[in-house]
Amino acid sequence: MASKIKKIGVLTSGGDSPGMNAAIRSVVRTCAYLKIECVGIYRGYQGMIEGDFKTFDARSVNNIINKGGTILKSARCEEFRTKEGRKKAHDQLVKEGIDAFVVIGGNGSFTGALMFNDEYGFPVMGIPGTIDNDILGSSYTLGFDTAINTVVDAIDKIRDTASSHNRLFFVEVMGRDVGHIALNAGVGAGAEEILIPEQNLGLERLLESLKRSKASGKSSSIVIVAEGDKTGKNVFELKEYVEEHLPIYDVRVSVLGHMQRGGNPTCFDRVLASRMGVKAVESLLEGKSNQMVGIRDTKMVLTPLAEAIKAHTEIDEELIRVSDIMTT
C-alpha cells in the first residue's frame, strides 16, 4: 500500500554532534530516492515554531558528509516545552504540508517529539545525535566515535609533553552523567586512571594508584576525568589535592572542552549516519512512528522513543576491567 507520507521534515535539535550533517544528507537523499519531498527545518524546534523551512533536494546536501556541526543549525527552544509552542509548530507543519519529521538529537529532543506525537498523532522518528553515547537502544550515537578519536588525539599530544617533563596531567573530558567518552578514550589513549560518574574510586585509591605508578617506574601519567566524576572535586581541585599529598608529582590540568564536539566526522560516524537516515525515512514510509533508529550487533534496529528516553546506557563493566588490567 502506498504511504500517505509525501513530505518529510528533518531537523537537528539540542547539542550538535559530528555526523549530524551526514544524517541530514542521508534523510534528504533517501527522500529523493523514494520520490518524497524533503524540507529542512532550521534551528530545531524554534525554527519549526517560526516556520523556518527550506525545500531540499538531493543536490542541496552536496559536500556536507565530511563537515562537523549541522547546516540546519541547532537550538534549544523553551517554547516547544509548552502546549502553545507545540500548537504553533503544528500549524506551521500543516501549512507547509509536512506529513512527518525526523529529529536528530538527544533525550530532550525525543521527549519533545513524543509529546508532539501524543498531542497531534504526527509521525515522528528519532536519530540519536550526541557525543555522549548515552541513549538506550543504540550501541553507538552519532558523534561518539568522532569525539573519542578527538580526545585520543589530544591525549596523545599531551602525553608527548607529559613524558618529556615527567609530569602528571589531569585531562577533563565531556560526560556530565555518563563516562563513556572518558572510559573509551582513556583505554584508547592508555590513561593511568579514569574517573567517571558511574564509579567513585575515591581520592585515596587515586593517590594509591599514582604512588604505585611512580614506584613501578612510570615517569609521567595521564588521568582522565569525566566532567561528572564523583570524587567531589573538579580537575583543578584534584591537581591541588595531589600536589599537596604527593609532592613528587608536577601536576598540570587540561580541559578539552568544546573541541570534543567539533571536527570532521570519522568514517564510522559517516557510515552510521547514512544507515540511520535511510532507516528513519523507510520506517516512516512503512507507517512506523515514535521510534528511534539505532545500531545493535551491526544491525539497524528501532526502539520506541519512550524506551530510549527512560535512562542512560550503562557503562561497560568489561571495559572497566580491561582498563584496570592495562594500568598494571
**Would you please indicate which residues are annotated as catalytic (active-site) residues?**
132
- Interface region with ligand ATP, contact rule CB under 6 A, candidates 63-71, 111-119, 233-241, 298-306: 111-119
Query: Any contact of residue 73 with ligand ATP (CB under 6 A)?
Result: no
Which residue has the CB atom at the shortest distance from ligand ATP? 108
Report if residue 136 touches ligand ATP, rule: CB under 6 A. no
Instruction: Give the position of cell 523551512.
Output: 53
**Applying CB under 6 A, does 93 fall inside the site for ligand ATP?**
no
* C-alpha to C-alpha distance for 76 and 85, rounded to whole angstroms: 13
Residue span binding ligand ATP (CB under 6 A) among the ranges 13-21, 57-65, 179-187, 246-254 = 13-21
130 part of the interface to ligand ATP, by CB under 6 A? yes
Q: Using the structure block, give the residue that is written with the C-alpha cell 612510570.
A: 218
Q: How far apart are the first and last CA of the chain?
A: 61
Q: For helices 107-120 and 83-96, what crossing angle results, to 10°? A: 70
255: annotated binding-site residue? Answer: no
Please give the Cα distance from 191 to 159 (Å, whole number): 9
212 is in an annotated binding site: no
Place of cell 578527538: 150
Asked if 259 and 8 count as a contact pair (C-beta separation under 8 A), the reply is no
* Span interacting with ligand ATP, options 3-11, 104-112, 223-231, 232-240, rule CB under 6 A: 104-112
Maximal CA-CA distance, the chain: 73
Residue 146 touching ligand ATP (CB under 6 A): no
Answer whether 173's CB lies under 8 Å from 256's CB: yes
Site string for ligand ATP, 29-68 (x = CB under 6 A): ----------------x-----------------------
Q: How far is the CB of 149 from ligand ATP (least distance, A)?
A: 18
| Local structure of 275: helix, strand or coil | helix
Contact 281, 37 (CB under 8 A): no
261 vs 270, beta carbon nearer ligand ATP:
261
Q: How far is the CB of 213 from ligand ATP (least distance, A)?
A: 34
Dig out the grid coordinates for 141 from the structure. 550515537
Residue 81 interacts with ligand ATP (CB under 6 A)? yes
Q: Is residue 275 involved in binding ligand ATP (CB under 6 A)? A: no
Residue 162 C-beta: closest distance to ligand ATP, Å: 31
- Side-chain-side CA neighbours of residue 263 (13 Å): 22
Give the gyration radius of the chain's Cα atoms.
22
* 115: contact with ligand ATP by CB under 6 A: yes
Q: Shortest gap between Cβ of 93 and ligand ATP (angstroms)? A: 15
Q: Give the angle subtended at the CA of 203 by the CAs of 198 and 204, to the nearest 5°.
A: 120
Stretch that binds ligand ATP, among 63-71, 99-107, 119-127, 280-288 (CB under 6 A): 99-107
Measured from the CB atom, is 40 or 105 closer to ligand ATP? 105
Rounded CA separation 148/132 (Å): 10
Rounded to the nearest 5°, which phi and psi values hold at 192?
-80, -35
What values do phi and psi take at 32, rounded to 5? -60, -45
Q: State the nearest-atom distance from the C-beta of 211 to ligand ATP, in Å.
A: 38
Contacting residues toward ligand ATP, per CB under 6 A? 13-15, 45, 76-77, 80-81, 105-109, 111-112, 115, 130
Binding residues for Mg(2+): 107
Binding residues: 15, 25-29, 76-77, 106-109, 130-132, 159, 167, 174-176, 190-192, 218-220, 227, 252, 258-261
